[in-house]
Amino acid sequence: MDFLANKIAPAEDFETKSAYKESILRNLSKKLNGGIISLDKEGVITAVSKEFLELVDQPISLILGKSLANFIGQTKLENYFLNHVNFMLEGKVPNLHFSCFWETDTKKLNLFFEFYPPDKDDCDLQGFIQNLTEAHLSVLNQDNIEQIMQHLGAVIWTSGADPRDVYYVSPGFKNFYEMNLDDHIKDPSIFLSRIHPEDLDTVIKLSSPSPEGDSLRQGDFRYRLNNGSWRHVTFYRSPFYDENAKLLKFVAVAIDSTLLYKAQEQMRFQQLELGRINEQLEKTNQMLEEFTAIACHDLSPPLRAFKIYTELLENAYLQDINEDGRLMLLSIKTAIDRMQDLIQGIGGLSIIGVEGSSLPSASINIRELIEKSIIPLYATPLNPISRIEFDHLHPLKIKEEHMIAILENLITNSIKYTNNFPHIKIRSKEFKSAIVYALSDNGIGIQEEAEDFIFKFGKRLQNKPEQPGSGIGLFACKKIMSLYGGKIWIHSTVGKGSTFYLLFPKYGC
């Protein structure tokens, strides 16, 4: 071509070249502020334009007859250019384009190359080169795309409005679809015959023009492989337009989503199995609660009768027994009281509920709850057994029976384990993420090493062994707090008293 001012040899008359291609390359070179380059199919540069020399700032002697590898590197020349140039020469792809970073003592350039097939009477490839500035960064690096697609197990291609008008296809097409691109272009029905019948409409809609105008489309379909198995494909198709809103081409990406589909199927199966197990667990818990309530109800009458008859025997027939007999009777009555406490504790524990059960959405007034349900039992003005102080208390989203159970257990312990008249203070404080209640007493206190022990099922300290108890009350408090994602703990000083803390997370309050 006459615009290639610098050539190795005028082997051909460039005036006879295609004026159409010359016009295209001239316009591209001018529009993209680049230069024009010609090279043979081995990648040896045979001609360049003066704009090319100005761009790279190199003398002609260092350009002509040299390999394109001087710009793009030997690896890219072999792995990309030489591997793909035959595709273009055979008409399978319309052009080759790639980019590279090139640096000399005076220049640092991010170069973009695009080459086109030679004319009938020419053996050289011709194309243009430009320096990619920030305005050009939307141009994607071809080999980087292919590496990404290969890593994702995907295929990318560009085409016209007719899917058979294919401009470019990444090398993984044959492995992905187990068919040659030529066969697909010649007879699309071969491809469509492998689509699952239930997904055929989806594929046709993805490839057909839209009456509302073309935009990004996405869909999933199943593709039958040679071994009879199904490959699950996620497909994207997006249009590209020029500055005049004229459709240039479509870019499509197909991603192998088989592993994702299998993982989702396994997750769905596990969710169904988990739902079935949860349903069985709920039924089991319900049966257990019912059994516990019935057992506690049926055990209480005979135990009361046993206690009554023991007291009758002691009062009516065993007045003159010796000291050993009295100790035996005391042991029997203590064991009965202990059994009654256990039955009452287990019965109360069975109706608390389990984690995950429905919880109230509305807050309750704790101050009113204490005045209504706690004060009449423990601090009535007529016959008080303790002194209970409280001021402003923050409302909580908690079932009334749960809060009453917590307060009764803590207050009962404060009354039991003290050598003074019980004095109990209840207060609360709001933090950013939680509301904390504190219940303090003037009891005998406990040692620090026992602060975790007392919350275990059936465990109780022997600070006052004469006091009855089941060792279930504090365990029940801990279980109730767990229903609300909360926590209960104690700080205590022996001889001075204890403070129980109840932390309720804000999302539950």
Which of 256, 279, 297 is where one domain is finished? 256
**Range among 99-103, 117-121, 162-166, 173-177 with highest mean pLDDT value:** 173-177
Residue 48 domain flag: yes
| 164, 220: one domain | yes
| 20, 85: one domain | yes
Higher pLDDT, 95 or 289: 95
Stated pTM of the model:
0.42
Residue 345 domain flag: yes
Range of the domain at 164: 143-256
How many CA atoms lie within 13 Å of 50's alpha carbon, on the beta-carbon side?
Answer: 3
Residue 158 domain flag: yes
Residue 489 domain flag: yes
Q: How far apart are CA 492 and CA 498, in angstroms?
A: 4
Residue 1 domain flag: no
Show Cβ contacts of residue 50 under 8 Å, excluding neighbours closer than 6 positions. Answer: 5, 6, 35
Is the distance from CB of 76 to CB of 97 less than 8 angstroms? Answer: no
Residue 24 has a pLDDT of 52
Residue 144 has a pLDDT of 60
| 495, 410: one domain | yes
- The enclosing domain of 124 has a CATH number of 3.30.450.20
Which of 328, 351, 374 is where one domain is finished? 351
Taking CA atoms, 367 is separated from 370, 393, 408, in Å, by: 5, 6, 14
Mean pLDDT of the region 423-429: 95
Give the neighbor-by-neighbor strand order of the sheet with 154-159.
166-169, 154-159, 247-256, 230-241, 217-224
Percent of the chain with pLDDT over 70: 77
- The enclosing domain of 280 has a CATH number of 1.10.287
Q: How far apart are CA 363 and CA 398, in angstroms?
A: 7
| 340, 441: one domain | no
* Element (DSSP H or E) covering residue 288: helix 258-312
- The enclosing domain of 468 has a CATH number of 3.30.565.10
In DSSP terms, 98 is beta-bridged to 113
| 265, 247: one domain | no
Which of 351, 380, 411 is where one domain is finished? 351
| 232, 278: one domain | no
pLDDT at residue 283 above 50? yes
| 250, 284: one domain | no
Higher pLDDT, 167 or 501: 501
| 303, 231: one domain | no
For the ranges 87-101, 131-145, 158-172, the lowest mean pLDDT is seen at 131-145
Number of domains the chain is built from: 4
Q: How far apart are CA 226 and CA 220, in angstroms?
A: 20
| 375, 492: one domain | yes
| 448, 507: one domain | yes
Report helix, strand or coil for 430. strand
**Range among 117-131, 138-152, 202-216, 386-400 with highest mean pLDDT value:** 386-400
Is the distance from CB of 178 to CB of 225 less than 8 angstroms? Answer: yes
| 129, 157: one domain | no
| Helices 323-350/258-312 angle, 10° precision | 150
Q: How far apart are CA 449 and CA 64, in angstroms?
A: 88
- In the numeric block, which tokens belong to residue 321? 């027994």
